[in-house]
Structure 1
Amino acid sequence: MSILHSKTILKASVAAISLGCISTPSHAQSEPAPVPSPVPAPPQTGGDTATTNGNEDIVVTATRNSQLLSKVPLSISAFSQEKMDLLGVKTIADIAALTPGVTFTQRKAIAIRGIVSNAGAGTTGIYIDETPVQIYNAGAFVTDAVPALFDLDRVEVLRGPQGTLFGSGSMGGTVRYITPQPSLTKYSVYARGEASYIDKGGPNFEGGVAVGGPIIQDKLGFRASGYYRRDGGWIDRIDRATGAIADKQANWGESYALRAALTWKPIDAVELTPAIFHQYRYTNTSQGFPVTTGDGASASWEGFSDPSHGIFRSGARIPTPGRDRSTLYSLTTKIELGTAELIGSTAYYERKNHNITDSSTYDSFFLGATITPTSVNIPGFGDWDSYDEIYTTQRSFSQEVRIQSGRQQSFRWVAGIFYEHNKQFNTESFHTPSLDALIGAPSTVRGDLGFFGSIDSKNSQIAGFAQFDYDVTDRITLTAGIRKAQLKYSFNGENDGFYNGGLTSASGNTKDSPWTPKFGAQFKVDENNLFYANVAKGFRTGGANAPIADTVCRNDLAASGFASAPPTYGSDSVWNYEVGAKNKLFGNKLQISSSVFRVDWSQIQSRLFLPCGFFIVANLGKAKSQGFDVQLSARVADHLTLGANVGYNDAKYTQTLATSLPGVNLVTKGDKLPISPWTATVTGDFDFDLGGKSSYVHAEYRYQSGYPNLIEQNPANTTFNPNYYDRSATHLVYLRAGMRFDALDVSVFANNLLNSHTTTGRASDNGTSLFIINNLQPRVIGMTLTYRR
């Protein structure tokens, strides 16, 4: 039966989208259409795109080979540098907000298709070019690095397990930051400057420039870039006794990034590219969570704040800064071998992270503090001072060597080996300056510390992988892939101090040897219409728990069904099943990318927070995540393009995990995973000629639903918290208008145009009556200058 007619294809696409009737709006816009221009677009700094009738088709390397996005049989979103400039993308939170099936959680984690965890190895692979940079969540306040989004060729977001080709932490999916490579033939310049102002807050500004080109034509080229950004604050830190402002607009932050790369081609068949990327981030208030744009933390105290009138205040007694410094050294080698290519990637990654948090409410567990919504007092000592200082260092070496065939062969393959060795050292120092005087005896260790903990951990892996694609006919292609890995994790930990009940120590190790297969099939109706199906497994290694003193947490462990803290926890894994379609209809005026999926997650690694102030990691049974994602772009008129991205994700536990106590569960069947079920983005782009200049208007609406019925909201569970906040839905409007003067683009913009002040998080601080809230960043209005030649 012929299906070549556009109307028939449209019906088939709608049928594929509606399978299971699960609509998964997860912050949309993976393949968003750029603003088309009646004059030639400025030259690219990196990857290629194809644009027809106003719709963009970007080149990606999700299968380790270069392919147009519309030809890749995966659920994938990609953002070119030009698209990110148009959308005002500044952080990974923005990428998540524009990508169906993806959310950036308040715990600074990337959740793809509901797969996210606050413990153990990452569930999302994070790559800078060929190098994985995610961190192992071994201690308190450990989060993944967030690369600056400046001099990038593109960002790719791959949904579903990518264990075959991207094995490191890619259980739920992979986010790839692809940098522009030095050119051996032509010079290019990219520069961006921006200034803006937060409503009732401070100013933001940024500036960056990237240049590159040949040093010796066709033999040696370079690319170098530098970038700086300062994010203003909108939350005042006040003296909680007097109400006087101690630090106005305290949640400001700044960051800079430097990158340099050389490409040397000594002979035609060999290409060497050494590179260095260095980044520094400072947040003046590390307590809180990242916001939609900017990197400032957004935590304020409910008792002092009035979001409806733009008043956000924190009662932290001391400054609570956060610093994050990372450097990546890499060498990529490419050797042409006739019809195949050998690629080697060697990298060393180093990261240092330091955070301070106000922890005065923690003392209420031990010292009988009187805590109100605006104060923390201990009789005879007044307003209590204590703070937590957390250091994390990460050093990682990785090496991958692979060989792959060319794209034009009917039998295509890629095979390789991967090695990684990662060391981490985490320390937590709980400063309690008045503790000795309060209890009348020496109790602190190492100066004024009421608690000191350290975890020295190592994890390594060696893996072999291969993937094969075979064109059975000119329309049907079959895919099979496998990865076999040897994973090891070991650690030594020590806790000490009054709050720990004295010195405790522990050590542990785990080993795993997983197979992570993938199977796929695709059917090409014609050059513009593709249908596919994939089955893939994802895997995450187990780990070991830090030492916990039984004298302090014995009762809380017993209430959770544990005789003592378990020394280790096991691995977990997922199976992902998906079908999808990619269609270009009506002469490419309409592009649709859609998929329907189901993910089965077993032995979920998760933290269990105990009332004594410590946590353990345990395997919490099974969960199922199912839904769909749809991305479409329609050129509805000569100068008007409309886009929509919708994602639905129903992610919940499918198994009750009971404790040894009657009627008490660790988790109950039906409890939801902490992600928004619905996310959506709707965009409109209007291009026109004004005074002989190419001009445009971009409008955008973002929606993210709340997420009720979590583990912490179920009275049957040990972690039940009656004060747990049911996250509210958010509605955000963005607007940008600009004009192009040859290579210069001048635009004005408004983020959160309607100045929504929705509370996105509310939590009792250590179980007390003091509540910390999180709100959207207020309206931001500004101007951007972009130069690209």
Structure 2
Amino acid sequence: MMRFTTQGLLAACCIVALATPAAAQTQSYRIPAGTLKSALDGYVRISGKQVMYKVDEIRGVHSPGVSGTMTPDAALRAILSDTGFTIYADPSGALAIVRAPGAGASTAEASPDSNDIIVTASKRGESLRTIASSVTAVSEEQLTANGAQNFKDYIAGLPGVQFQQSTPGISNVTIRGIGTATIYPDQGQSTTGIYINDVPLSDPGFALSVPDLDVFDMQRIEVLRGPQGTLFGAATLGGAVNYISNPVSLSDVQARGQTSLYGIGGGSKLGYSVKAALNIPIVQDTLGVRMTAIRHADPGYLDNVGSGDRDTNTRKVDGLRLNVLWKISDAFRLSYFGFYDHARLGDGFGAFAGIGDLKRDTIINEKTTFTTKVNNVKLDGNLGFATLGLSAADTRKAQYSIADYTPYYGGPPTVVPNYPRSHSRIAEARLVSPGRQKVDWLVGVYYGRTSEHYPNSTIQDGVVIYDYSVDYRQTEKSVFGEATYHLTDTLRITGGGRYYDLEITTLTQQGAPGAPKDSVGGRQQAHGFSPKASIAYAPSKSLMVYALLSKGFRAGGVNLTPALNGFSTPANYGSDSVLNYELGIRGALLDGRLVIDSTAYYVDWSDIQIGLLRPDGYAYVANAGSARSTGIENAVSWQPSKRFSLSANLTYLSAQLTKTLALGNGTVLEKGRNLPGAYHWSGSQTATYRFDLASEPYVTLQHQHVSRATDDFDSEQVVGGYSNFSVRSGVQLGKFAVQAFVTNLTDKRGRTASASFGENQLVYYIQPRTIGLSIDWKM
């Protein structure tokens, strides 16, 4: 039997205690899920008991927390459930947290805290502070405290990220300035990959939509800056965003609910949201299920003077997530993840410049519906020499939209309805070496197949005058891997890469009804290798410096335009790629209360896929440009006292063309022109003060600023150049957390994206001043 003495543990363990009276027989505990360390700290504050543990041993371990009235022993057992740790009572009466007999390292991933976040950016669970690349992780606790609900609440303020907010579902996320438009995704693949539980949500072909996910019941969001071509594959030129949902607990019933009520400036109605999450262990320690349901009803704030309707840009979203976990044995786990998102927009979200504040002018309300369904099955197993991960996913998307094209045609009322559909199937298998060895390694294979059907018709005065459809298929096969060699305890090198093989086919048919259709078919194949190499030096747990070389790629495609006599339209356009060089430092001072991250980078973007124009006005895509992006990203978090915390980030970015480029419409872009939406300066700051009162009241102030940029290559229209302030205040009332908030405090009309359409200038703004109240409940 293991023996502990208080004196022996003092040297190697963290000892926490409070000078409070002895705990009552039963007490009320409300400790949220999070790191085991934070849960134990909360337990000590409530119970008044002394608890000893080895800091290094519990680092990165997740606890389900505890909620309810119970004895201190029962509360501690609940905190330790499903962690692989148990309680040992020292003869002196002190409690020690030790690994349960026969238990290996916990398979549960850590819920992030500010200093030690376990992320899967490298396809294995690793501490954020030890990863030799630029990764930002936002925890569930941070998301809740900041009142985050969708993209605009948590993406825009992160270092190195440019969020071009437009129509929800097709807004652009650009990282390190790697993008060629601010409104709607580029033709073909996007430059930033969006994932949920490692399943891609961004489209591998023509962009249909990316769900603007609500982060309720998400464990964390990982934002990977810089190309991710080695482990994540295509369409990650700038980086990737990966949502990680809360895991299933096999030992505890957990329940949480949240509701909000809010009003938006310019609108005449209130909006609301209702959310619920429930975790049930069906068979204790063997089979469990976690369900999440979300409903949003956002009010409109734009008036459409053309249709004569007020508050037209409403948004209603229904979301469902289902996680099922079966612990087959101590070595194998089988899980299922289901995702459903259905968004309905009452009209476009772009205002028309020059006709009044928050006004639109279309002959109809441009309604849109986005539907996304994901089914994902995973098998994880411990083979002894390695852990095995098998994953297969089926994703289906559907869109319905109708747009007013009257300004484009300049004649009778003209509308274009669209009905695109897509179906993606992916499978991945990987082997990961166990624990930390002299050489850590990972190898994997990937297969993906996507088919899209994109039909639309042009209707003028109620009569179809033109039909258009595209059928698109893409197949990707890849092999990837990387290995890390620990030269010493403080110095390591990593090398890896991905070999990919792509095949793309398209068929475009267009023409007037009843007339012979122009058909354009094409096929393209591409293959290549994306390498990655890094070196990291960590002389202590509070300091790491690294250097990284990485490459990313984006699949090419087939042009869809019919032939034109006298003009040679290229049938295909090839892949483009980026080569990224970066230096980073990660430091923690003042016993971890001050954390500093700084990264300098240089990105070389070659063979850029750019839309050009023919003499007849048709657009096509060619590999016609090159650019470079240089910058420095800085993030600081500081907790000067138990009650006061500060965080801030500041990014400098210079993203420019490196050679002169003619767009084909008479516009010539000179070398040195900035890339669209690439703000030279961006940053955000958050300050929170927590009062020493029973209801734990707090106040949070937030500020975000972006400098100016142009909205497109051939435009002088400006986006950015604004500051956005928000304030939040909340209290804890038993099991209820109440938060009041005001976003866009000064009601600023900050431009996030814009585009010319006919003679009109379409402008997208940050959401007007929003005032609301939310209530969160946990069992």
Q: 1:613 to 1:230 in 2, by over 3 A?
A: farther
Task: Report what 2:137 is aligned to.
Answer: 78
**Inter-partner Cα distance in structure 2 for 1:167 and 1:135:** 13
1:668–1:711 contact (8 Å) kept in structure 2: no
Q: What secondary structure sits across from 2:420 in the alignment?
A: strand
**Inter-partner Cα distance in structure 2 for 1:686 and 1:230:** 31
Task: Report what 2:733 is aligned to.
Answer: 741
Q: Equivalent of 2:471, from 420, 433, 456?
A: 456
| Residue 300 of structure 2 is aligned to residue 233 of structure 1 | yes
Q: What secondary structure sits across from 2:234 in the alignment?
A: coil
1:357–1:387 contact (8 Å) kept in structure 2: yes
Residue correspondence of structure 1 range 308-323 to structure 2 within 5 A:
312-323=358-369
**Inter-partner Cα distance in structure 1 for 2:174 and 2:353:** 28
Task: Report what 1:489 is aligned to.
Answer: 504
1:504–1:547 contact (8 Å) kept in structure 2: no
1:205–1:231 contact (8 Å) kept in structure 2: yes
Task: Report what 1:504 is aligned to.
Answer: 518
Q: Deviations over 1:38-60 (max 9, x none)?
A: 96799399853465xxx443221
Q: What secondary structure sits across from 2:409 in the alignment?
A: helix
Q: 1:762 to 1:261 in 2, by over 3 A?
A: closer
- Shift of residue 464, structure 1, vs aligned partner: 0.7
- Shift of residue 339, structure 1, vs aligned partner: 4.2
Task: Report what 2:79 is aligned to.
Answer: none
Task: Report what 2:588 is aligned to.
Answer: 584
Task: Report what 1:599 is aligned to.
Answer: 603
| Residue 172 of structure 2 is aligned to residue 109 of structure 1 | yes
Q: Deviations over 1:482-527 (max 9, x none)?
A: 11111111101111139x9973210111111110110001000201
2:613–2:663 contact (8 Å) kept in structure 1: no
**Inter-partner Cα distance in structure 2 for 1:424 and 1:573:** 24
Q: Deviations over 1:584-625 (max 9, x none)?
A: 101111101110001000000122356866421111221000
**Inter-partner Cα distance in structure 2 for 1:214 and 1:155:** 25
Amino acid at match of 1:85: T
| Residue 748 of structure 2 is aligned to residue 756 of structure 1 | yes
Task: Report what 2:686 is aligned to.
Answer: 683
Task: Report what 2:314 is aligned to.
Answer: 252
2:577–2:607 contact (8 Å) kept in structure 1: yes
Amino acid at match of 2:727: L
Deviates more, 1:608-617 or 1:771-780: 608-617
- Shift of residue 96, structure 1, vs aligned partner: 2.3
Q: 1:614 to 1:148 in 2, by over 3 A?
A: farther
Q: What secondary structure sits across from 1:62 in the alignment?
A: coil
Q: What secondary structure sits across from 1:548 in the alignment?
A: coil
Residue correspondence of structure 1 range 338-349 to structure 2 within 5 A:
338-349=384-395
Q: 1:653 to 1:43 in 2, by over 3 A?
A: same
Task: Report what 1:565 is aligned to.
Answer: 569
- Shift of residue 706, structure 1, vs aligned partner: 1.4
**Inter-partner Cα distance in structure 1 for 2:338 and 2:711:** 45
Give the TM-score normalised by the residue count of structure 1.
Answer: 0.81
Structure 2 gap segments, 5+ residues each: 1-37, 47-62, 68-107, 181-185
Task: Report what 2:757 is aligned to.
Answer: 765
| Residue 185 of structure 2 is aligned to residue 127 of structure 1 | no
Deviates more, 1:777-786 or 1:739-748: 739-748
**Inter-partner Cα distance in structure 2 for 1:710 and 1:148:** 29
1:736–1:750 contact (8 Å) kept in structure 2: yes
Task: Report what 2:676 is aligned to.
Answer: 674
Number of equivalences: 672
Q: What secondary structure sits across from 1:361 in the alignment?
A: helix
Q: What secondary structure sits across from 1:70 in the alignment?
A: helix
**Inter-partner Cα distance in structure 2 for 1:137 and 1:401:** 23
Task: Report what 1:28 is aligned to.
Answer: none
- Shift of residue 350, structure 1, vs aligned partner: 0.4
- Shift of residue 450, structure 1, vs aligned partner: 2.2
**Inter-partner Cα distance in structure 1 for 2:664 and 2:320:** 54
Amino acid at match of 2:341: Q
1:702–1:731 contact (8 Å) kept in structure 2: yes
- Shift of residue 660, structure 1, vs aligned partner: 9.2
Task: Report what 2:430 is aligned to.
Answer: 402
1:344–1:402 contact (8 Å) kept in structure 2: yes
Q: Deviations over 1:358-410 (max 9, x none)?
A: 1111112xxxx4xxxxxxxxxxxxxx311111222110000000010123223
2:413–2:461 contact (8 Å) kept in structure 1: yes
Amino acid at match of 1:588: G
**Inter-partner Cα distance in structure 1 for 2:661 and 2:667:** 6
**Inter-partner Cα distance in structure 1 for 2:205 and 2:706:** 27
Q: 1:788 to 1:333 in 2, by over 3 A?
A: same
Q: 1:148 to 1:638 in 2, by over 3 A?
A: closer
Q: What secondary structure sits across from 1:249 in the alignment?
A: coil
Q: Equivalent of 1:433, from 461, 465, 485?
A: 461
Task: Report what 2:280 is aligned to.
Answer: 213
Task: Report what 2:553 is aligned to.
Answer: 539
| Residue 353 of structure 2 is aligned to residue 302 of structure 1 | yes
Task: Report what 2:777 is aligned to.
Answer: 787
Residue correspondence of structure 1 range 358-373 to structure 2 within 5 A:
358-364=404-410, 369=411
- Shift of residue 145, structure 1, vs aligned partner: 3.6
Q: What secondary structure sits across from 2:366 in the alignment?
A: coil
Q: What secondary structure sits across from 1:247 in the alignment?
A: coil
Q: What secondary structure sits across from 1:669 in the alignment?
A: coil
Deviates more, 1:90-99 or 1:411-420: 90-99
Q: Percent identity?
A: 28
Task: Report what 2:346 is aligned to.
Answer: 284
2:607–2:623 contact (8 Å) kept in structure 1: yes
Task: Report what 1:623 is aligned to.
Answer: 627
Q: 1:305 to 1:610 in 2, by over 3 A?
A: farther
Q: Deviations over 1:400-456 (max 9, x none)?
A: 00010123223111101000001111112111126xxxxxxxxxxxxx222221110
Q: What secondary structure sits across from 2:528 in the alignment?
A: coil
Task: Report what 2:98 is aligned to.
Answer: none
Q: What secondary structure sits across from 2:142 in the alignment?
A: helix
2:338–2:375 contact (8 Å) kept in structure 1: yes
- Shift of residue 666, structure 1, vs aligned partner: 5.2
**Inter-partner Cα distance in structure 2 for 1:321 and 1:660:** 33
- Shift of residue 231, structure 1, vs aligned partner: 0.8
Task: Report what 2:226 is aligned to.
Answer: 160
Computed over aligned residues only, the root mean square deviation of the Cα atoms, in angstroms, reads 2.5
More RCO (CA 8 Å, sep 6+): 1
Q: What secondary structure sits across from 1:705 in the alignment?
A: strand
Q: What secondary structure sits across from 1:148 in the alignment?
A: coil
**Inter-partner Cα distance in structure 2 for 1:50 and 1:432:** 55
2:724–2:745 contact (8 Å) kept in structure 1: yes
Amino acid at match of 1:147: L
2:397–2:421 contact (8 Å) kept in structure 1: yes
| Residue 176 of structure 2 is aligned to residue 148 of structure 1 | no
**Inter-partner Cα distance in structure 1 for 2:202 and 2:607:** 21
Q: 1:761 to 1:405 in 2, by over 3 A?
A: closer
Q: 1:527 to 1:305 in 2, by over 3 A?
A: same
2:483–2:494 contact (8 Å) kept in structure 1: yes
**Inter-partner Cα distance in structure 2 for 1:173 and 1:430:** 37
Q: 1:701 to 1:612 in 2, by over 3 A?
A: farther
1:596–1:628 contact (8 Å) kept in structure 2: yes
Amino acid at match of 1:785: I
Amino acid at match of 2:653: N
Q: Equivalent of 2:718, from 720, 726, 732?
A: 726
Amino acid at match of 1:420: G
Deviates more, 1:179-188 or 1:530-539: 179-188
**Inter-partner Cα distance in structure 2 for 1:207 and 1:624:** 45
Q: Deviations over 1:215-239 (max 9, x none)?
A: 1111111111111001111111224
Amino acid at match of 1:522: A
Q: What secondary structure sits across from 1:84 in the alignment?
A: helix
